[in-house]
Every structure is written in C-alpha cells, then in structure tokens.
Amino acid sequence: MPCAYCKTVNTICYWGPMPEKPWKRPVLLVLSILGTVGFGAILWLAWSKPPNLVVILLVVALVVLFTLGTLVSLKGCNACVARLFGSGWIG
C-alpha cells in the first residue's frame, strides 16, 4: 500500500526505485532539516535587499524540496525515502 507521499515523490524523482537502506531515513532527516533551515535563512536574508526574483524562486523551490524531504523521512515509506535520497555517495 503506497504512503501519502508516493505520488509526489514518484513525480519529482523520475529516476526510478533506489536501493532501500536503513541509514537513509536518519541521514535524509538531518540533511533535510539543515537544508530547510539553511535555505530558509538565505531566503530571509534575500528579503533584506532588493529582491532578485530568480534567486528567490530558486531558494523557495529548494526550501519546499527540503521540507518534503523532512516530511518523507518522518512519515514516508521506505521506498519513498530511498527514492528521494537517491543512490547516495556511499551506496
């Protein structure tokens, strides 16, 4: 039975299924939280200057992607975690 995120993850991550590993969920959670906070800070700093629309749209897209990563790592199925994380650097 697919989880609530399967359709969204399958649309964004078009590269197909990836190997499921137990370490991917906690690593995805940590990287997603760091990415959300980091790019959220960049977005906040971008508003202090005259906004560059392209930069703001790129950062907003990255914040949304990292937020999806956080949600998937907390409540998604193992297939979604593996697919969103990808093959990774270490297998």
d(CA 65, CA 77): 17
The reported pLDDT for the residue numbered 29 is: 93
For residues 25 and 89, which has the higher predicted lDDT (pLDDT)?
25
Computed over every residue of the chain, the mean pLDDT equals: 84
For 49-87, the pLDDT digits (tens) are 776 788 778 878 888 888 999 999 999 999 999 998 887
The reported pLDDT for the residue numbered 89 is: 60
d(CA 5, CA 9): 6
Closest Cα to residue 52, out of 63, 67, 64, 42? Answer: 42
